[in-house]
A and B are shown apart, each in its own frame.
Chain A
Amino acid sequence: DIVLTQSPAILSLSPGETATLSCRASQSVSSSSAWYQQKPGQPPRLLIYDASNRASGVPARFSGSGSGTDFTLTITSLEPEDFAVYYCQQRSSWPLTFGGGTKVEIK
């Protein structure tokens, strides 16, 4: 199974700052990765697919990059509604796997 390791586990930032979240795969997944945002009591929301493509309706302050084993989600100028947990996912091989999550909290 492909293991996805997200870091850091918790990111404490203030509104207006830039968040940089990392996801590292145990083997190459090419560009077959996605990022999700989850707020308390809500289902996940797709933000980024194929490593760098924003899903429909996702603000431009969210961007994804990377390929192979290293991926990054960047959130520029954090808004209050961006404080949440973020998960990466790979679809390169079965079983589909998710990272353990990064919580972006208000500092």
Chain B
Amino acid sequence: EVQVLESGGGLVQPGGSLRLSCAASGFTFNTYDMSWVRQAPGKGLEWVSAIGNSNTATTYADSVKGRFTISRDNSKNSLYLQMNSLRADDTAMYYCARARVTAWDFDYWGQGTLVTVSS
């Protein structure tokens, strides 16, 4: 069974940092592209960042470029999101999502991890 499980969320002060993790199982992780998508409370979905299956290609939404870094460790079946210089408008549920083969839409999602940026 395909599973992705996020962790690492929590309460952080503005300007602070947080590292999210996503543990994948039930599929050959190193053959799938992965992404992070977030959802502010009561709002819609916002794509955040994506990474290719071999860790060589990454891309970011303008809203997080220069502050967030996506990475993966295929030996650990894990995806990460390093978030620096956090702002109040980064407050959201962060979802780890698996991209469909050769296509950037998402067939499996985790339950999400909540990040709250507040003083």
Q: Which residues of A contact B (CB under 8 A)?
A: 32, 34, 36, 38, 42-46, 49-50, 55-56, 87, 89, 91, 94-101
A and B contact pairs by CB, cutoff 8 A, 5 listed:
A36-B45, A43-B111, A45-B109, A89-B45, A91-B103
Give every chain A residue within 8 A of B35 (Cβ-Cβ).
96
Do A99 and B50 touch across chains, with their CB atoms under 8 A apart? no
Q: Nearest-CB distance from A45 to chain B (Å)?
A: 8
How distant is the Cα of A36 from the Cα of B100 in the complex, in angstroms? 14
Do A55 and B47 touch across chains, with their CB atoms under 8 A apart? no
How distant is the Cα of A96 from the Cα of B109 in the complex, in angstroms? 16
Do B100 and A95 touch across chains, with their CB atoms under 8 A apart? no
Given A95-B61, A95-B62, A96-B50, CB of A44 within 8 Å of CB of B105: no
- Identify the closest chain A residue to B104 (Cβ): A91
Do A94 and B111 touch across chains, with their CB atoms under 8 A apart? no
Number of A-B contacts (CB under 8 A): 54
- Identify the closest chain A residue to B103 (Cβ): A91
Give every chain B residue within 8 A of A36 (Cβ-Cβ).
45, 106
- Identify the closest chain A residue to B99 (Cβ): A91
> Given A55-B107, A95-B59, 18 other A-B contacts at CB below 8 A?
A34-B106, A44-B45, A45-B109, A46-B100, A46-B106, A46-B107, A49-B105, A56-B107, A89-B105, A91-B105, A94-B59, A95-B47, A95-B61, A97-B47, A98-B45, A98-B46, A99-B44, A101-B44
Do B111 and A46 touch across chains, with their CB atoms under 8 A apart? no
Give every chain A residue within 8 A of B111 (Cβ-Cβ).
42-43
Residue B80 is within 8 A (CB to CB) of chain A in the complex = no
How distant is the Cα of A101 from the Cα of B40 in the complex, in angstroms? 13
